[in-house]
Amino acid sequence: MDTDMQDMTRKTFFNEKADTWLDKFYKDPETGIHDRHSKKIKKIISSLNIEPDHKVLDVGCGSGVLVPYILSRLSSKGRLFEVDYAENMITQNRKVHGYDRITFVCSDVMDLPLEDSSFDSIICFACFPHFRDQKAALGKLAGILKPNGILTIAHLLSAKEIADHHDGESAVSRDRLPVKHETALRHPDHEQFPIACTILIILN
Ligand SMILES: C[S@@+](CC[C@H](N)C(=O)[O-])C[C@H]1O[C@@H](n2cnc3c(N)ncnc32)[C@H](O)[C@@H]1O
C-alpha cells in the first residue's frame, strides 16, 4: 500500500473510533470519569510550562483527553487550539468540551492554517508515530512555534510498547516513534530547531 493510501486507511480508522475513544482509553471504570492516567498526564502537562495567557496547540488531539488539563492552566486570556485531521474526533471533542477558550481545527498537521511563530507551546500527545512524514511535521510545528516556545512529544507508553500496541491493528501497524530522535533534530531543512524551540520527548 502506498503512503497516501495507508494514511487514508489510518484516518478512516481514527474516524471510526472517535465516538468511543475517550471511554476506551481514559474512562475510570469505577467513577465513569475520563481521568484514567491523570497522574502521568498532569506530569506531562506540567512540563509544558504553560502560562495563563499562553496560546497552546494540542495537535492530533483526538476527542480531547488533554483539554481539561490544559484549560486548568489557562486564564481567560489564554487560548487552546485543538487540531486533528479526523473530522469525527473534532466533532466529538467539540461536543464534550464546548468552545470556552478553545478553537477547533480539522486539519492535517502538514496543512495547518495557523500563523507562523504564534504558539507558546505545542503538544503532540500519543500521535507522533501516526504522522506520515515525521520530519516534515516537525518542520511545520517548529514554524508555528514562537522562538523559545516548547514542542513536546509525549506518550504514556515506551517506544517498544507503542510498537507492540500498534502491531495488532493493520491501519496503524507500521506507525512507530523514531528511536533516534536526534535524526529529526538535525534535519538539514530545519536548522532552526535547536535554537528556536525546545523539543522535549517524554516516554514512560
Ligand atoms: C492515537 S490518537 C491520540 C489522540 C489523542 N491525542 C489522545 O491521546 O487521546 C492519534 C490522533 O492523531 C490524529 N492524527 C494522525 N495523523 C494526523 C495528521 N497527519 N494530522 C493531524 N492529526 C493526525 C488521529 O486522527 C488521532 O486522533
pLDDT per position as a tens digit, 111-143? 999 999 999 999 999 999 999 999 899 999 999
The gap from C-alpha 1 to its chain's centroid, in whole angstroms, comes to: 25
- Name the residue at shortest CA distance from atom 14 of ligand 1: 60
For ligand 1, which residues put their CB under 6 angstroms from it?
A: 14, 21, 60-62, 65, 84-86, 89, 108-109, 125-127, 130-131
Report the amino acid identity of residue 96: V
DSSP letter string over 51-74? Answer: -TT-EEEEET-TTTTTHHHHHTT-
- Name the residue at shortest CA distance from atom 25 of ligand 1: 86
pLDDT per position as a tens digit, 175-184? 998 865 544 4
- Ligand 1 atom with least separation from CA of 127: 10
- List Cβ neighbours of 176 (8 Å cut-off, separation of 6 or more): 129, 159, 162, 163, 166
Does the pTM exceed 0.85?
A: yes
- Name the residue at shortest CA distance from atom 13 of ligand 1: 60
Other beta carbons within 10 angstroms of residue 191's beta carbon come to 10
C-alpha to C-alpha distance for 183 and 204, rounded to whole angstroms: 21
- Name the residue at shortest CA distance from atom 27 of ligand 1: 62
SS3 180: coil
| C-alpha of residue 55 to centroid of ligand 1, in Å | 20
C-alpha to C-alpha distance for 159 and 182, rounded to whole angstroms: 15
CB-based contact 119:149 (threshold 8 Å): yes
C-alpha to C-alpha distance for 60 and 145, rounded to whole angstroms: 16
DSSP letter string over 4-27? Answer: HHHHHHHHHHHHHHGGGHHHHHH-
- Identify the structural domains of the chain with CATH numbers, from first to last: 3-202 (3.40.50.150)
Residue-level pLDDT, tens digit, the chain, 204 residues: 788 899 999 999 999 999 999 999 999 999 999 999 999 899 889 888 899 999 999 999 999 999 999 999 999 999 999 999 999 999 999 999 998 999 999 999 999 999 999 999 999 999 999 999 998 999 999 999 998 899 988 888 888 888 999 998 999 999 998 865 544 444 444 443 333 345 666 654
